[in-house]
Amino acid sequence: MELKLYVDRLSQPSRAILIFCKANGIEFEEVKIDLAKHQHHSPEFAEVNPMKQVPAIAHGDFKLFESHAILIYLASAFPGVADHWYPADVHKRAKIHSVLDWHHSNLRVVQVIIVKCERIAVGYIFNSAIAIERGLPLNLQAAAKEEKLLSESLAKIESYWLQGDGPFLLGNEKPSIVDLSLVCEVMQPEAADESEHERILSPHKRILKWIEDTKNATTPYFDEIHSIMPLAREKIKELKVQASKP
């Protein structure tokens, strides 16, 4: 049965799904939905996801959207996926769901806030995909607010979710779908500015090690999928130049 991934590599949940499939040897066709060209608003894409967001998938006739639901589905429907990605044990699985839900209201919420509040300006630190998609002016105040939310979430990940013996979230010895989802989110500021990303992450040594461990566990696919970052930086630079013009 054919698997199609409707994605834009500039979106962090799209990248998580691409890396997951590659790391697990799941064959797929990548269908690019170019956010900058508003392809997510096309009638064709509405047939796949009426909510008009990437990522979405079609597995034969079965269509699904929301990245966490997709990761869980792929880990469950493809028998070759190792148990550590989404453990069958009811207690381990419950903890995975807890982190995924927490993520929605923390790291991930920065995106949602900006979309829902319909702000006319976004910061460039975190929401580069949205900025590019909408051609929005950049705003330093919004960037400061985003940085504060990001730093708070990083501190919570370090002090709580990364406690334990293993190098991954929940103290696991091997990565799970939550590591992929959250690391791709944490990588997003790199799409805006490499030195800013380094500055924000540098106080968080445990986070830096976790990113490296997740990269290494999914090598070479993590870097391959994140090779989009320089392109994102180019687009963000263009937006900055536009924003600085009177």
Is residue 101 a contact point for its own copies (CB under 8 A)?
yes
Report the residue number, 90 or 241, with the smaller CB distance to its own copies: 90
> Angle 222-18-88 (CA atoms, 0-180°, nearest 5)?
95
Would you state the torsion angle of the CA atoms of residues 110, 57, 77, 188, taken in this order, to the nearest 10 degrees?
A: -30
* Least separation in angstroms between CB 233 and its own copies: 27
Angle separating helix axes 67-77 and 90-104, nearest 10 degrees: 160
Count residues binding its own copies (CB under 8 A). 34
Distance CA 56, CA 73 (A): 12
Of 35-43, 86-94, 176-184, 188-196, the window that binds its own copies (rule: CB under 8 A) is: 86-94
Site string for its own copies, 150-189 (x = CB under 8 A): ------x---x-----------------------------
Is residue 67 a contact point for its own copies (CB under 8 A)?
yes
The answer to whether the peptide bond before residue 55 is cis (omega within 30 degrees of 0) is yes
Out of 113, 121, 130, 228, the only residue in the binding site for its own copies (CB under 8 A) is 113
Bridge partner list, 62: 59
Is residue 93 a contact point for its own copies (CB under 8 A)?
yes
Report the residue number, 97 or 199, with the smaller CB distance to its own copies: 97
Nearest to 31 by CA among 6, 54, 13, 67: 6
Of 21-29, 62-70, 128-136, 170-178, the window that binds its own copies (rule: CB under 8 A) is: 62-70
Nearest to 17 by CA among 87, 67, 84, 86: 67
Is residue 241 a contact point for its own copies (CB under 8 A)?
no
DSSP 22-42: HHTT---EEEE--GGGTGGGS
Interface positions with its own copies (CB under 8 A): 50-51, 62, 64-70, 72-73, 76-77, 90-91, 93-95, 97-98, 100-102, 104-105, 109, 112-113, 116-117, 149, 156, 160
